[in-house]
């Protein structure tokens, strides 16, 4: 997906449910990400010592990118479908696929592939938005 496409989707998500979208990202983060990245995103979650690659500090992504939140990189890594691993395998689950599978399982008769993808995308984008709010 293009950077503009992501921005438009994020804007649409946020405009339609301003509070809900941010809550969704925060809740999703504490459910799915905090065990590795830490409750505050600093990379010190309880699982982190057991990983081959240490989970990065997610609060310095803007700081280490000339002050600009690297939205397309974060989106790509979290969604994971356009893989990222710079050094071989990756410890991070591929959330885009996992969320899609969950959506299909929740309602196998009614969700088409595209609807499941939209639901997954919404969850990924809410996380990207949440991560953008915890930058130093």
List residues binding ligand HEC (CB under 6 A): 32-33, 35-37, 47, 51, 53, 55-56, 58, 61, 73-74, 77-78, 85, 90-93, 95, 127
Comparison of 112 and 123: residue with beta carbon closer to ligand HEC: 123
Smallest separation, CB 42 to ligand HEC (Å): 12
How far is the C-alpha of 134 from the C-alpha of 42, rounded, in Å?
A: 10
Comparison of 52 and 109: residue with beta carbon closer to ligand HEC: 52
Comparison of 24 and 92: residue with beta carbon closer to ligand HEC: 92
How far is the C-alpha of 25 from the C-alpha of 13, rounded, in Å?
A: 11
How far is the C-alpha of 55 from the C-alpha of 2, rounded, in Å?
A: 26
Total count of residues recorded for the chain: 136
First to last CA, the chain: 27
Smallest separation, CB 89 to ligand HEC (Å): 8
């Amino acid at each position: 997906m293009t950077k503009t496409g992501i921005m438009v989707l994020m804007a649409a998500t946020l405009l339609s449910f301003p509070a809900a979208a941010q809550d969704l990202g925060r809740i999703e983060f504490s459910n799915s990400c905090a065990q590795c990245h830490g409750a505050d995103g600093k990379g010190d979650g309880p699982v982190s010592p057991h990983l081959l690659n240490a989970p990065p500090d997610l609060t310095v992504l803007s700081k280490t990118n000339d002050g600009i939140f690297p939205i397309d990189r974060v989106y790509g890594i979290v969604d994971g479908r356009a893989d990222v691993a710079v050094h071989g395998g990756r410890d991070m689950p591929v959330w885009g696929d996992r969320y899609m599978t969950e959506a299909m399982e929740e309602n196998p008769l009614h969700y088409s592939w595209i609807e499941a993808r939209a639901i997954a995308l919404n969850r990924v984008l809410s996380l990207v938005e949440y991560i953008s709010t915890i930058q130093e």
